[in-house]
Amino acid sequence: MKMMLSSRSGKWIVLGIIVGIAISLVACGKAEAVKTAVSLKPTIQASPSPGFITSTPFPPSTDTPIPSPSFTPSFTPTSTHTPTPTETPEPSIRFAVIGDYGLAGTAEADVAALVKSWSPDFIVTTGDNNYPFGSAKTIDENIGQYYHGFIYPYYGKYGEGADINLFFPSIGNHDWKTDEGQPYLDYFTLPGNERYYDFTWGPVQFFSINSDSNEPDGVNSSSVQAAWLQQNLASSISTWQIVYTHYAPYSSGTTHGSTGWIQWPFKEWGADAVLAGHEHIYERLIVDNLVYFVNGVGGATRYSFGEPEVGSMLRFRSDWGAMLVEASRQKIVFQFFTRKHELIDEYTLWAEGH
């Protein structure tokens, strides 16, 4: 009896073991199936047709993706120097000054050769361009023979003239002697009324005035001509303003000396320098803080000095010569040379701020 019970119990035990194994196997299979399903979770793919999605057994995740951090290089900016624009310097100009020169001969020829050796931009004169009487018969011989290359238009017989006018005379008393200067006015083509006028070249505005007492617009400081000068000096925007004429406001010469009627308040009106002739000498004076030059040794007979005028700084009469002037926005340099290229005088004016 006991043996039968034991046999049955063993059978049940064996059966329980078999059932347990089967259950374990089934469980293992499900687990593998779950693993496989998880590993095969599909992803959403873009389709060739808008709105078409392939294989969507699971809805797409609505979680906002966290972007991967990107590296932005950092640097310390370096200072870059920006140059301050500078004004392009205006080229300087070089011009010659001759006076009382218009008497054909060796002295004038020598002075003309001196002037041409400088290759100046242009020439201004302090009068008496045509001795002795300002006649049309002598004007080309006295002027064109030596300076035709600076004159435009030039109709004389000594060669070709310039392409533009480079010769700016002031009228002298000898030029006025024939028909109130008509041969002079016919020979030159000048601005304005030609008796007095202005022009600008580079940083300089020039004012040629007629100091002969026969000038129709007058020669004293309250004349029409003086009012013209005062107004134009006041309105000038050039760096330098130079007045040139024939009669010398101040001079230590004995033949003519100083000329009272042309002692205008040039400095007060805005002039930086006054150039004149009439006395056949070279002299530099400073009067009322304004520089005056007397340049009358361009070819005619030379004169003598008397007692020095107040303000006379330098006096010379030993030879003929001419002035060379160089002007820029910074400074203006006046030089006087003899016909033998000997430097006699040099004077410099500096612009304000330099």
Chain center to CA of 20: 111
pLDDT at 91: 85
Report the 3 state secondary structure along 233-254: HHHCCCCEEEEECCCCCCCCEC
pLDDT at 337: 98
Mean pLDDT by 10 residues, the chain (354 residues): 40 46 44 36 36 36 43 44 59 96 98 98 98 98 98 97 98 97 98 98 98 97 98 98 98 97 98 98 98 98 97 98 98 98 98 79
* Largest interatomic CA distance in the chain: 182
pLDDT at 96: 99
pLDDT at 20: 52
Structure tokens, 179: 């028909």
Rounded to whole angstroms, the Cα distance separating 144 from 137 reads 12
pLDDT at 144: 98
Model-level pTM greater than 0.95?
no
Radius of gyration (Cα) for the chain, nearest Å? 51
Query: Which residues are bridge partners to 117 per DSSP?
Result: none
pLDDT at 78: 47
Cα–Cα distances in angstroms (integers) from residue 9 to residues 16, 157, 271, in the given order:
10, 160, 145
pLDDT at 19: 47
pLDDT at 88: 63
| Domains, the chain, with CATH or none | 93-350 (3.60.21.10)
Cα–Cα distances in angstroms (integers) from residue 304 to residues 102, 193, 276, 296, in the given order:
19, 34, 16, 12
Rounded to whole angstroms, the Cα distance separating 38 from 27 reads 17
